[in-house]
Amino acid sequence: MQINPDLKFIRYLKGAGGDTLKKCFQCATCSVVCPLSGDDKPFPRKEMIWAQWGLKDKLVADPDIFLCHQCGDCTAYCPRGAKPGDVLGAIRAYAYTEYGFPSGLARLATAAKNLPLLIGIPAAIVLIMWYISGGMHLPTGEIDFGHFFGHWDFKYLTKTTMFIDLIMLPAAGLAVFSAYMGVTRMWKKMCEGINASPEWRPSCGKFINDFLWPSVKEILSHDRFNECGVNKDRARGHKPLMYAFIGLLIVTTYGFISKDFIGIFVPSLHGPLHLYDPFKILANVSAVALLYGIFILWGNRSREESESGKQGTFYDWFLIYEIAAVGITGVLAELTRLAGLPFLAYLFYFCHLVSIMMLFLYMPYTKFAHMVYRTFAMAFERYRDSGFANGVKAD
């Protein structure tokens, strides 16, 4: 068998947190102690040797790199001091860029040197739209973020709602389309990797019912995170963070429907939500859960780096900073609004809009992408064990 190692890929892994991969000497301790590794298709031993050999194409088509939850058990028990979880994390980071669309934006989100651009692009877009709207001013009376982009007499849609739609909907749409393109490419490569039979394919309904929905339920319950031994605290951070995003998605969806559609017939819905409105309460509780979860993960990451003496990577920290920025600017905007401080309230609200746009825009290329890729990798795990993948028509 002839091996043609991709040396550039190996250098990337070593620079993205997988610098210990050469310490592995294939004792298989990692696969034995990993609570998530299956008996029939164990990992991460095979991924470690593929990484040493620079087999990029095999690794990005391997669903097991996404099934790893980086809980740290393999690192704790490795007799050679290798960190298989970190290596698989670096491989995932590469895969997000490999599958990312458009490729230029995906590459931009991979390096700290691009941080001024990563912040500057959404900041410039929000600032330009604020200027074009004619609403660039500080309020003299009651502070109402509903007038951030100005006011007009068109009762069916507020000016601020329209401008936020113009900013956020394209960013969210690009993120969804890019994630769809990436998952489609990943699924195709994974099928090629196991020589899945193209003859039998599940219907859309069967795919959702048998493969996708069980994976979503498992993620919501955090079953696999709870199986991790060494770093159980990660579940304490991930779970409130996940439910915080679900809560904020519900609030955002309600706001979009109420202001953009129902508001056409009930103009009073265009005003700010009362503090005791159920959706306002859900938004505030979700914000607290978001901050709680992200600071647990922040603390865990800092402690791991302090104990190991290893310097963190941009891939590891960018999403933590990004989510923290969303939560902190949102809370500060609300507090300064209630305190009647217009300059600070508008400043924090501007930063909040920028951080939200960043979250949407870069979702498919950062660690946030595992929300999508891991879900479909878990669905593929069920699919590859089914009759469809093995060329047997399933009932």
What is the token pair recorded at 187?
Answer: 């699924």
pLDDT the model gives residue 357:
96
Q: What is the CA radius of gyration of the chain?
A: 23
In contact, 101 and 258? CB cutoff 8 Å:
no
- Distance from CA of residue 249 to its chain's centroid? 14
DSSP secondary-structure letter at 271?
A: S
pTM: 0.88
CA distances from 348 to 145, 333, 357 (A): 11, 5, 14
Nearest alpha carbon to residue 219 among 236, 238, 200: 238
- Distance from CA of residue 386 to its chain's centroid? 28
Residues in Cβ contact with 274 at an 8 Å cutoff, skipping those fewer than 6 apart = 280
CB neighbour class for 43 (10 Å; exposed up to 12, middle 13-18, buried from 19): buried
Reported as a single tens digit per residue, the pLDDT across 116-152 is 999 999 999 999 999 999 988 887 777 888 889 988 8
At what angle are helices 342-362 and 115-133 packed, to 10 degrees?
120
How open is the CA angle 145-147-149, to the nearest 5 degrees? Answer: 105
pLDDT the model gives residue 257:
86
DSSP state letters, 44-98? SHHHHHHHHHT-HHHHHT-THHHH----SHHHHH-TT---HHHHHHHHHHHHHHH
**Dmax (CA) of the chain:** 76
Other C-beta atoms lying within 10 Å of the C-beta of residue 138:
10
Residue ranges of domains in the chain, CATH in brackets:
7-99 (1.10.1060.10), 103-384 (no CATH)
What is the token pair recorded at 250?
Answer: 């519900």
In contact, 158 and 270? CB cutoff 8 Å:
yes
Reported as a single tens digit per residue, the pLDDT across 324-334 is 999 999 999 99
Is the Cα dihedral 212, 217, 220, 224 positive or negative?
Answer: negative
Distance CA 241, CA 237 (A): 6
Other C-beta atoms lying within 10 Å of the C-beta of residue 134:
12
pLDDT the model gives residue 149:
93
Instruction: Average pLDDT across each block of 10 residues of the chain; the chain has 395 residues. List them in order.
Output: 76 82 89 87 90 90 90 86 89 92 91 94 96 88 85 80 92 95 93 76 88 93 79 79 93 84 75 81 93 91 80 86 94 92 94 96 92 94 82 50
What is the token pair recorded at 157?
Answer: 């849609």
Distance CA 332, CA 323 (A): 14
Distance CA 55, CA 59 (A): 6
